[in-house]
């Protein structure tokens, strides 16, 4: 899945003709999420793209022609998820990743549970539509406890995760 607001690039250049005849291409959007204004950038070239403006499924079709005969349509379905869902998925992965870290990766044994609780609060804020609050909590209350290695190459005094390998696993999430 992709995140809404991302461009989707499609490439039909691997299409071929048994007789090596030159091909023409015809792309079309078969279906879109309701109220989507997505449009293909090209309809008649080997490659095209579109902006997945809303969450939901986009079905795109390609038909090629060798000058004599049209191919059967080849369809692809692209699923776009909301940025809220993408953020929640990433935070759930972060919790799972953190729970797989060795105990020695933390400054003390309680910090894993406390960080998990902080991320859980952020997930609740996202669910409630409190995006600014979720961002602030993530930025001010979680990132600063896991960012020393990313920022200065070693854990800093505020880090709760004191091993760079562990920070490098968690921080990008």
Span 29-50, pLDDT tens digits: 999 999 999 999 999 999 999 9
| 1 pLDDT higher than 90 | no
CA dist., res. 52 & res. 47, Å (int): 16
How high is the mean pLDDT of the chain?
A: 95
Residue 144, token pair as written in the block: 């600063």
Torsion of CA 104, 107, 109, 115, to 10 degrees: -110
Residue 165 pLDDT: 94
DSSP string, 49-72: EEE--SSEEEEEEEEEE-SS-BPP
pLDDT in tens, 60-97: 999 999 999 999 999 999 999 999 999 999 999 999 99
pTM exceeds 0.85 = no
Strand partners, 48: 10
Look at residue 18 in the predicted model and tell me its pLDDT: 87
pLDDT at 138 over 90: yes
CA distance 90 to 129: 17
Q: Compute the distance between CA of residue 136 and CA of residue 121 in angstroms, rounded to an integer.
A: 12
Render pLDDT for 104-136 as a digit per residue (tens, 0 to 9): 999 998 999 999 999 999 999 999 999 999 999
């Amino acid at each position: 899945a992709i995140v809404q607001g991302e461009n989707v690039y499609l490439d039909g250049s691997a299409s071929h003709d048994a007789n090596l005849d030159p091909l023409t291409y015809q792309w079309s959007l078969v279906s879109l999420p309701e109220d989507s204004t997505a449009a293909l950038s090209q309809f008649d070239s080997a490659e095209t793209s579109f902006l997945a403006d809303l969450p939901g499924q986009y079905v795109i079709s390609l038909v090629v022609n060798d000058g004599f005969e049209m191919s059967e349509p080849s369809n692809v379905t692209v699923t776009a998820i909301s940025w809220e869902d993408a953020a929640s998925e990433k935070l759930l992965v972060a919790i799972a990743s953190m729970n797989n870290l060795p105990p020695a990766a933390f400054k003390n044994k309680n910090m894993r549970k406390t960080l998990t609780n902080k991320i859980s609060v952020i997930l609740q804020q996202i669910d409630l539509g409190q995006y600014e609050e979720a961002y602030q909590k993530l930025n001010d209350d979680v990132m600063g406890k896991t960012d020393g290695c990313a920022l200065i190459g070693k854990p800093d005094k505020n880090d709760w995760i004191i091993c760079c390998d562990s920070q490098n696993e968690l921080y990008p999430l």
